[in-house]
Chains A and B, each alone.
Chain A
Amino acid sequence: GESVGLHLPTLSVQEGDNSIINCAYSNSASDYFIWYKQESGKGPQFIIDIRSNMDKRQGQRVTVLLNKTVKHLSLQIAATQPGDSAVYFCAENFAGGTSYGKLTFGQGTILTVHP
């Protein structure tokens, strides 16, 4: 899972393996979740999102799982490639008053893929 402070969680995998990145979110009222990928020197890039009325959503090589009971989100990357090496952030949002669009980001997980 993600942590606060200087030391980001890290995950090292071999090319071709499946990767699972975890995130514990904070607000039980959050109803929209996004995973972003940030490569070195670039801004975060959208990967996949999921609404709170779903528990699973699949994209191309990626799957997001949502467990609202324990406030847990995971990102699964199939057949991980060296180009997947990046920092991965989960983000949550809740529709409270004027909070639309006000995403709260986790601290990030560093994924390193070895050829």
Chain B
Amino acid sequence: DAGVIQSPRHEVTEMGQEVTLRCKPISGHNSLFWYRQTMMRGLELLIYFNNNVPIDDSGMPEDRFSAKMPNASFSTLKIQPSEPRDSAVYFCASSPDLSLNEKLFFGSGTQLSVL
């Protein structure tokens, strides 16, 4: 299995532009998570899905952030418009099921720089 696949690996954009991050979870995994990592705040959960349905989006910082999961094998995280403070590494993770003891499998992340 190729693991969780994220694209792009790096994204550099200008303030005000729309950014779309993509994620392909591990086949057969029912739960998908979007995390953001910064030096100041560490790893923060933004939103997670179970069976393609958003369960908890309380971590999404603002209305500028939105996430979708149109099918079991694809999810997007969109920032519109982007701001310099959105610069971070964004990780997607999946797990076999949304239960207490299921560990997460992380992708390699997207390094986002908003100038």
Q: A residues bordering B, Cβ < 8 Å?
A: 4-6, 31-32, 34, 41-46, 49, 51, 89, 93, 95, 98-108
Known contacts A100-B99, A101-B98, A101-B99, A46 near B43 by CB under 8 Å: no
Known contacts A45-B106, A98-B55, A103 near B45 by CB under 8 Å: yes
By beta carbon, the residue of chain B nearest A95 is B100
A42 vs B105: C-alpha distance when bound (angstroms): 12
Residues of A within 8 A of B101 (CB): 32, 49, 51
How many B residues touch the partner, as a band?
20 to 34
7 closest residue pairs by CB, A with B? A43-B106, A105-B43, A46-B103, A107-B42, A101-B98, A44-B106, A95-B100
Which of B43, B45, B101 is the most central at the interface, judged by chain A CB atoms within 10 Å of its CB?
A: B43
Which of A41, A43, A51, A95 is the most central at the interface, judged by chain B CB atoms within 10 Å of its CB?
A: A43
